[in-house]
Amino acid sequence: MSGSSQAHIGLNLAGPDQHPPEEAELGIYGFWIFLMSDAVLFALLFAIYGTQLAATAGAPGPAAEFKLGPAFTETVILLTSSLTFGLSGIALKYDRTRTALVLWLGVTLLLGLAFLGLEVRDFATMFGDGATPDRSGFLSAFFALVPTHGLHVAAGCIWIVVMLVQIGVHGTDARVKLDLLRLGLFWHFLDIIWIAIFSIVYLQGVL
């Protein structure tokens, strides 16, 4: 078997438990289809948000409610989590003890939870100011877009926990490696969506 068929997108899939290359490619291709459908969902939410920017109906608007400092902190945390997930991929490829893999996945999980905690605090502050989804079209669109991303991050955190359990039970067999690859694509996709949210929602709203 050639060297090119013993590896897949940066991860070492060689060994007695490896997937056939065609099976690995098909599994990743199917997940890319899912991510594209998710991208369409977010594109629709961004479009709705853009049409509702001026529809405040006397309720608090973006300039009054959005705080750039907390949003920037959340951005740094989420981008750092993308780095730590990348380090877990390197550990998966080169560290046979699995210690570094578990460590970096754990750090990624903690960063994801920290992001969610800060985001929930922001939402609670907005609710305390009376900026609730029922007050205006703008707030309805905001709470349709941003919490949807938060739900995806929460799903990613749960997925990380599941992967940590699978690593403990099954080790790093071919199925676990491919699942980690899919999770990595999902996590980095969420970072891209958040950068768009930070730029279009928070920066535009404040500036």
d(CA 77, CA 196): 15
Tell me the per-residue pLDDT of 49-78, one tens digit each, with 9 for 90 and over: 999 988 888 888 888 889 899 999 999 999
For residue 4, is pLDDT > 50?
A: no
> pLDDT-derived band of residue 205, with 50, 70 and 90 as boundaries?
confident
Tell me the per-residue pLDDT of 180-199, one tens digit each, with 9 for 90 and over: 999 999 999 999 999 999 99
d(CA 138, CA 50): 9
Average pLDDT estimate for 112-140 = 94
> Which numeric CATH code is attached to 42-206?
1.20.120.80
d(CA 189, CA 167): 23
